Structure 1
Amino acid sequence: MQQPPEQVPAPLDGPAVDVSDAHELLLGYLEWYREALMRKLAGLSDNQLRTPVEPLGWSPLGLVQHLGWVERRWLRWGFGAEDVVAYPAGGDAEEWAVAADTSAAQVMATYQAEVIAANSATGTATLSDKAHLGGRFKTPDQAPSLGRILFHLLQEYARHVGQLDVGRELIDGETGE
């Protein structure tokens, strides 16, 4: 009787399999999701990036813009207590809708700038470090740890990148990993 071919497990997404440090794992997975976002947008035309996907109601570029605001709110304003605008004046509608005179390159550059600033805000922090007071959090009992914030960001990215998989399949039939 012939033996079935040996199954080789697929490599794990995210940080290398030998990474066990929680800080390195959380930041590594956050970076992996940021990169996954960009991979899932690759190959879309400007029109496809801008057109709201029905029945989802948002465009892929609007999702990128939203995640830039999320980075800003949680890591810069939240953890770092930076004095930044945390929400657009027009609320959710403005956060998700890209203005016609804003190029895709501008949205991507703004998102990347928020990622760089967020990484700077957390660069030397440990997972148990509490958010600085004065930004999003006003009192010590409101201030979560960096670890808690990173867990929140991971679930936010996982959800939205998964939604983008659905959006991409509706746009052009491409499916994600």
Structure 2
Amino acid sequence: MHQPPEKVPALLDGPAVDVSDAHELLLGYLDWYRTALMRKLDGLSDDQLRTPVEPLGWSPLGLVQHLGWVERRWLRWGFGAEGVVAYPSGGDAGEWVVASGVSSARVVAAFREEVIAANSAVGSAVLSDKARLGGRFQTPDQAPSLGRILFHLLQEYARHVGHLDVAREFIDGETGE
């Protein structure tokens, strides 16, 4: 008896298997993790998005808000030296708490706006380009290369998207890929 072929899972996540350019790989994986973050929110109610997950102490929406600030700090204020506010009032802790008057849709939209602005800040830069001075970095010896910044962001996303997998398991038993 003929069996229908099983769906073969992708062998690799992120950029296509034939991509070998480091710049394209870093940006491709960063985009993949940004998309994975949004995908892992699918199916959560507004209450589930906003309620801190015990024992973690943060909400999925708070994680999205945090990563928006991370994008801003590293790519706009850091690499591009834009004159933007780098931390919300309340510092690091403040970026994990979503104010009750701020809608979930607004937090996600703000995150997406930061991604667009961050992508614009790196524009046509190459991995060896150093961060501009005057924002996060004040002296040439403090300024990392774009490659270093993108690698940092990639590990930050990988870690936090993994954290979101754990949060989802606590919330509704869903597990990540």
TM-score scaled by structure 1?
0.94
Equivalent position of 1:5 in the other structure: none
Cα distance in 1 for residues equivalent to 2:92 and 2:50: 17
**Residue number in structure 2 paired with 1:160:** 160
Counterpart in the other structure of 1:29: 29
Q: Name the amino acid aligned to 1:124.
A: S
- 1:83: which partner in 2? 83
1:18 corresponding residue in structure 2: 18
- The sequence identity of aligned pairs, in percent, is 84
Residue 169 (1) aligns with residue 169 (2): yes
Matches within 5 A, 1:1-12: 10-12=10-12
Alignment of 1:138-149 (within 5 A): 138-149=138-149
Provide the aligned length of Structure 1 versus Structure 2. Answer: 170
**What is the aligned partner in structure 1 of residue 3 from structure 2?**
none
AA partner of residue 174 (structure 1)? E
The C-alpha deviation readout for 1:109-132, integer Å capped at 9, x for no partner, is 100000000000001100000000
Q: Where do 5+ consecutive residues of structure 2 fail to align?
A: 1-7
Alpha-carbon RMSD:
0.9
**Residues of 2 paired with 1:89 and 1:12: CA distance?**
40
Which of 8-17 and 132-141 deviates more?
8-17
Q: CA deviation at 1:90?
A: 1.0
Gapped runs of 5+ residues in structure 1?
1-7
Question: Which segments of structure 1 move beyond 4 Å, counting only runs of 4 or more?
Answer: none
Output the TM-score relative to the length of structure 2. Answer: 0.94
SS for the counterpart of 1:97 is: coil
The alpha carbon displacement at 1:95 in A equals 0.5
